[in-house]
Amino acid sequence: MNTKIVPLTQDEDKETLFAKLTQAGEVIKNGGLVAFPTETVYGLGGDALNPKSSQKIYEAKGRPSDNPLIVHIADMEHLEKIVQNVPENAKKLADAFWPGPLTMILKKSDAVPRQTTGGLETVAIRMPAHPLALIFIKEAGGYVAAPSANLSGKPSPTTAKYVIQDMDGRIDMILDADAGADGAIGIESTIVDMTGEVPMILRPGYITQEMITNIIGKTDTDVTILDNDSKQPPKAPGMKYRHYAPKGELVIVEGTPENVVNYINEQTALHAGKGERTGVIGTTETIRQYKADSVKDAGARDDMLSAAKRLYTFLREFDDENIAYIYSEAFPAGGVGHAVMNRLLKAAGHRCIKL
Ligand code: TXA
Ligand code: MG
């Protein structure tokens, strides 16, 4: 398949931009697939109400078809058609956080095919905050099913470069909006299941449990999120798959900054002695002390949003640089740091050394 790559910039004239997004919307309406930017990561979009489109998404990603897709909407009025009812708490969360990086699970209506929901009776819904995504979704008919636009098992793409690397030749169109990717978050949305008695966080993200609790009161967290020893399967089917994995072996190191730096430098020296290439993810405070083939600065320790924005790009770059062993500092788990650690632990297959 010949994939059309369409550059979008914030400063091109409105009509040209709109015409491009209308054309992308047509591709979706005709049953095709388009990768598009959001404020979290790039999405791989198809018509959420067309079972054949969802089937195509699974094929393009190489994703198991029991792993449900998120339906992206651009308008509150569109919500009613795809759910059985909108609970009061869901309305409150939508008011507070939409458009934005929050996905809510609600009971699906008959309009949503089972192919889109991986066979479930519930549907995940999000209204993204990226202005170009909102126009695109409207032009596509209002309902765009989209997982992250990576091949299954790879880190989610935060730049068009990595969408192209994974999806060129597999889908109809890629909207390249890197020039207009302001306000990016870099990790996927928070998922909250609204179908039980107490809303439950299934995947942490930029919108924290505390922010949600402040709006609707009591919430629970899926116990499997940070605890690898849990015997239960995660409630979001996609969380059970090995995700976000770089090719190299990633280990997280926790301890005082001095101990962490010393330990990592000992390890990278041992690998270097064997001719093995090493990478390190550190923070601005420690970064100059590391010795490795590739050293990445996640930003200041008290700025976890900057770590969120950079994490997936680092993991991809380590692959490009043929790094065999990667060591990362552990990050403070407050605020969005909780989500950063969740992704990092998954990428590391939960290998974490506590000094
Ligand atoms: O930020 C995001 O959410 C990005 C952008 C593109 O919007 N999308 C994204 O999609 O991360 P994906 O497919 O990579 O992750 C969706 C997650 C999976 O873990 C899936 O199992 C879960 O949402 N999910 C979807 N529908 C669900 C449902 N009905 N019940 C429980 N979990 C669900
Ligand atoms: Mg994904």
In three-state form (DSSP H/G/I as H, E/B as E, the rest C), the secondary structure along 162-179 is HHHHHHCCCCCEEEECHH
226 Cβ below 6 A of ligand 1: no
Task: Establish whether residue 155 lines the binding site of ligand 1, counting it when its CB lies within 6 angstroms of any ligand atom.
Answer: no
Phi-psi region of 186 (alpha: psi -120 to 50; beta: other; left: phi over 0): left
Residues 6+ apart with CB under 8 A from 159: 42, 178, 181, 313
pLDDT at 67: 86
| pLDDT value, residue 45 | 98
The CA distance from 281 to 320, in Å, is 15
Is 187 within 8 Å of 179 (Cβ atoms)?
A: no
Give me the phi and psi of 191, to 5 degrees please. -110, 130
Rounded alpha-carbon distances, angstroms, from residue 320 to 116, 279, 294, 338: 33, 12, 11, 27
With a 6 Å cutoff on the Cβ, whether 236 touches ligand 1 is yes
CB of 189 within 6 A of ligand 1: the answer is yes
Annotate 107-145 with DSSP letters as a single string: EB-TTS-TTTTTT-SEEEEE----HHHHHHHHHTTS-EE
Residue 111 CA to residue 86 CA, distance in Å, equals 15
Which pTM value belongs to this model?
0.94
Is there an atom of ligand 1 within 6 Å of 225 CB?
no
Output the CA 301–ligand 2 centroid distance in Å. Answer: 26
* 326 and 318 Cβ atoms separated by less than 8 Å: yes
Q: Is 152 in the pocket of ligand 1 (CB under 6 A)?
A: no
Distances (CA, A) of 128 to 40, 94, 167, 309: 8, 11, 21, 16
- What residue owns the CA closest to ligand 1's atom 10? 147
- With a 6 Å cutoff on the Cβ, whether 126 touches ligand 1 is yes
Q: Which atom of ligand 1 is nearest to the CA of 67?
A: 21
Closest ligand by atom to 236 CA: 1
What are the E-state strand segments in the chain?
Answer: 4-7, 34-36, 43-47, 70-72, 102-107, 122-126, 144-146, 173-176, 190-193, 200-203, 220-221, 249-254, 278-282, 294-297, 325-329, 352-354
Burial of 182 (0-12, 13-18, 19+ CB in 10 A): exposed
Distance 156 CA to ligand 2 centre (A): 6
Q: What is the DSSP letter of 2?
A: P
* CA 37 remoteness from chain centre: 11
Q: List Cα–Cα distances, 51 to 30, 116, 118, 299, in angstroms.
A: 13, 7, 11, 42
61 lines ligand 1 (CB under 6 A): no
In ligand 1, the atom with minimum distance to the C-alpha of 43 is 6
Does the CB atom of residue 222 touch ligand 1 within 6 A?
Answer: no
- Regarding the beta carbon of 105 and ligand 1, being less than 6 Å apart is answered yes
What atom of ligand 1 comes closest to residue 103's alpha carbon? 3
CA-proximal residue: ligand 1, atom 12 (nearest): 147
**Ligand in closest contact with the CA of 71:** 1
In this structure, the residue with its CA closest to atom 25 of ligand 1 is: 68
Atom of ligand 1 nearest to the CA of 203: 19
148 DSSP 8-state letter:
B
Helix 14-29 × helix 131-139 angle, to 10°: 50
Q: What is the pLDDT along the chain (355 residues), one digit of tens a residue?
A: 999 999 998 778 999 999 999 999 999 999 999 999 999 999 999 999 999 999 999 999 998 878 899 999 999 999 999 999 999 999 999 999 999 999 999 999 999 999 999 999 999 999 999 999 999 999 999 999 999 999 988 889 999 999 999 999 999 999 999 765 555 899 999 999 999 999 999 999 999 999 999 999 999 998 776 555 555 667 777 666 566 778 999 999 999 999 999 999 999 999 999 999 999 999 999 999 999 999 999 999 999 999 999 999 999 999 999 999 999 999 998 889 999 999 999 899 989 999 9
With the most atoms of ligand 1 within 8 angstroms of its CB, the residue from 103, 137, 144, 309 to mutate is 103
Cα–Cα distance list, 195 to 81, 123, 291, 298 (Å): 17, 10, 49, 36
- Atom from ligand 1 closest to the CA of residue 63: 13
pLDDT at 65: 77
- HEC profile for 220-249? EECCCCCCCCCCCCCCCHHHHCCCCCCCCE
Using a 6 Å cutoff on CB, does residue 250 contact ligand 1?
A: no
CA torsion, points 67, 69, 70, 74, in degrees to nearest 10? 180
Nearest protein CA to atom 17 of ligand 1, as residue = 238
What ligand has the least distance to the C-alpha of 116?
1
